[in-house]
């Protein structure tokens, strides 16, 4: 009876090349999957960073608004405290001038201006 040869037995070099090509294809597929996973993780990280930035901006805006209200109240107190006793800044113009003066002084003292 004639024995049939296994293709690997008849062409060992071809078998080695085929295995090497398979390993290369598998490696390329794994690399592709890894790149896709890295892109996905990067997109998630960017989305999280954007959400954090939005929350931070909102909190800073609220804090800034609260701070401006406090400064406005402090300005009003300073204006009233520095009027000659018995007088009030009844005229809108006088009141506006006093508030502007206090703001300029506050800006200079805080280094904003």
Q: Computed from CA positions of residues 41, 43, 49, 52, in that sequence, does the dihedral angle turn out positive or negative?
A: negative
Q: Using the predicted structure, report yes or no on whether residue 33 has a pLDDT greater than 90.
A: yes
pLDDT tens digit sequence for 42-83 = 999 999 999 999 999 999 989 988 888 888 888 878 777 776
Q: In terms of DSSP H, where are the helices of 6-112? A: 7-10, 12-81, 92-110
Rounded distance between C-alpha atoms, residue 77 and residue 106, angstroms: 13
Comparing 4-13, 20-29, 61-70, which segment has the lowest mean pLDDT? 4-13
CB 101 within 8 A of CB 76: no
Q: Using the predicted structure, report yes or no on whether residue 5 has a pLDDT greater than 60.
A: no
């Amino acid at each position: 009876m004639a024995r049939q040869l296994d293709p690997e037995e008849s062409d060992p070099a071809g078998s080695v090349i085929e295995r090497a090509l398979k390993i290369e294809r598998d490696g390329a597929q794994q690399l592709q999957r890894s790149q896709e996973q890295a892109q996905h993780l990067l997109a998630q990280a960017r989305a999280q960073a954007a959400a954090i930035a939005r929350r931070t901006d909102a909190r800073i805006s609220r804090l800034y608004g609260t701070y401006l209200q406090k400064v406005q109240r402090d300005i009003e107190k300073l204006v009233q405290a520095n009027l000659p006793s018995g007088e009030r800044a009844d005229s809108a113009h006088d009141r506006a001038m006093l508030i502007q003066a206090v703001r300029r002084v506050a800006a200079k003292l805080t280094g904003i201006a």
